[in-house]
Amino acid sequence: MPDNAVKKILIADDEPTLVSTLQYNLEREGYSVVIATDGEAAVAAARERHPDLIVLDIMMPRLNGLEVCRILRREMHVPIVILSARGDERDRAAGVEAGADDYVTKPFSMGELIARIGVLLLRSECLPPPDK
């Protein structure tokens, strides 16, 4: 993918106000945004749309975010940021163990989240493609 291509971010969260706020701010930064409001839709959207990065809530209907993370990690090499209200040490460790690249707790700083997303996208461009 060329460096100047618009990066696609999948937001998987069932909280409408948060989703619209994230979408607005990410689009202002020049990203393309795809939305999924439950875990099964997140897996389907990731498979169909091939996002460059996923922002993933843990507590979602139909399939929780940790299981979504495990499924997608087995299938694709895409940076995953968990964005969750669950912030104790066990929850953060479970997120990392499931394959997340970063874990951000709610409430959060939009500027910090956007910076973390930018760094993960830059790092992912530097990695060689995974072996198939």
DSSP annotation of 99? T
pLDDT at 82: 95
Q: Which of 123, 129, 119, 121 is nearest to 77 (CA)?
A: 129
pTM for this model (two decimals): 0.90
Whether 3 has a pLDDT exceeding 80, the answer reads no
For 55-99, the pLDDT digits (tens) are: 999 999 999 999 999 999 999 999 999 998 887 889 889 888 999
CATH numbers and ranges of domains, the chain: 8-124 (3.40.50.2300)
* Degrees to nearest 5, angle at CA 49 with 47 and 69: 45
pLDDT at 87: 78
CB of 107 within 8 A of CB of 132? no
